[in-house]
Amino acid sequence: MRSTRHGTLDVPGARLYFEVRGYGPPLLCIPTGNGDATPFGPLADALAAHHTVITYDRRGFSRSPVFDPVEDHRRVRVDAQDARLLLDHLCDEPAEVFGTCSGGIVALALLQAHPHRLRTVVVHEPPLASILPDAEHWLAFYDNLYLTYRERGMEAAREVFRAHVGMEGDTRPPRDAQLPPDQLEQLLARLRRNQVFWFEHETRSFPAYRPDLDALRRHSDRLVLAGGAASREQYAYRPNRELARLLGLKMVDFPGGHVGHVTHPYEFADRLADVLRGKRRDNASVAD
C-alpha cells in the first residue's frame, strides 16, 4: 500500500476528512452513497503511480461530522461546494474528478458550478431518476423506500433497494485488496452509521436532483459518462444512458457493475487512467 497523507478541512457547517496518495495531476474521487473514502483505497493505490489521488468522506458520513442542521434540498449543491473547497485547499491546478453513484451526482453539480477548477469529470452510474422517461415511477420508488426504512427498518429497506437496482451479487473487493480484520470492522461500523444518514438525507433528494443540462452541454468536452459493463441491463445504468442521449455524448463502459471500483479495482483503475489520458490528448489537440 502506498503512503497516504491524512487531514481535515473545516468548511461551512462541517469538517471534511481527506486522504492524499501519490504524485502527478490531481484526481479527486467523490464517494458513493456510503460516503466513505476507504472503499476507494485499492483503486486509489493503483492510480497513485501517475496521479495525486484525493479521497474523502462526504459531509455527514464517517469521519466528516456536520455541525449545522442538514438541509436535504441543498445537499447536492453543498456537497459540490465542499468538493471545490477541498480542491482549493489541496491543489492549484485544474483537477480531474471521478464520481460514482451519489458521488456522480455531486460531480455533475461541481462541473456546472465550478468548471474552471476541473479538467475532466468522469461520472459513473449516478442515480438520477429525475431525468428518466419514467421518472415519476422511480421517484415514487425512492419515496416508498424511505417509508419502508421508517416503518420496517433499515435491513428491510436495504433488501428492497438492492433487489430493485440490481445489486444482488457480490460487492466485495478481491482477496488481495481486502482490509485487515480490525480495519474492516471499523469500516463496517462506519458504514452502518452512514446508512442511517443516507436513508434520512439522500434517499429522496439525490435521485430527485435535476442537473442543469444547458450548463453541462457547455462543458460537455470535459465530461465522460460511464457505466458498468455488467450493469447494462440494470437500473443503475439507465440514468447515464439517458443523460448521454440528452447531451449528445457516448457512454464509456468500465469493468464490473455498479460498484466495479470495489470489485475490480485494478482493471477499473487501468480503464480510468486510459480514459483520462485520452481526454487530455483530445483537449490538447483541440487547443492546438
Of the pLDDT bands very low, low, confident and very high (cuts 50, 70, 90), residue 235 is very high
pLDDT exceeds cutoff 80 at 168: no
Pairing of strands 95-100, 14-21: unpaired
Q: For residue range 90-104, what is the model confidence (pLDDT) as tens digits?
A: 999 999 999 999 999
Residue 9 phi/psi, 5-degree rounding, is -135, 125
- Considering only CA atoms, which of 212, 204, 192, 210 is closest in space to residue 70? 204
Q: Which residues, at least 6 apart from 167, have a Cβ–Cβ distance to it below 8 Å?
A: 161, 236, 257, 258, 259
Q: Over 70: is that where the pLDDT of 182 sits?
A: yes
pLDDT for 165 equals 76
Mean pLDDT of all residues in the chain? 94
Confidence of residue 246 (pLDDT cuts 50, 70, 90): very high
Q: Which of 202, 188, 257, 228 is nearest to 66 (CA)?
A: 202
At 172 the pLDDT is: 84
User: Distance (Å, rounded) from C-alpha 166 to C-alpha 244?
Assistant: 21
Q: What is the pLDDT of residues 107-141, one digit of tens each?
A: 999 999 999 999 999 999 999 999 999 999 999 99
Grid coordinates of 241 = 444512458
By DSSP bridging, strand 4-11 and strand 251-254 are unpaired
Q: Which domains does the chain have, with CATH numbers?
A: 4-287 (3.40.50.1820)
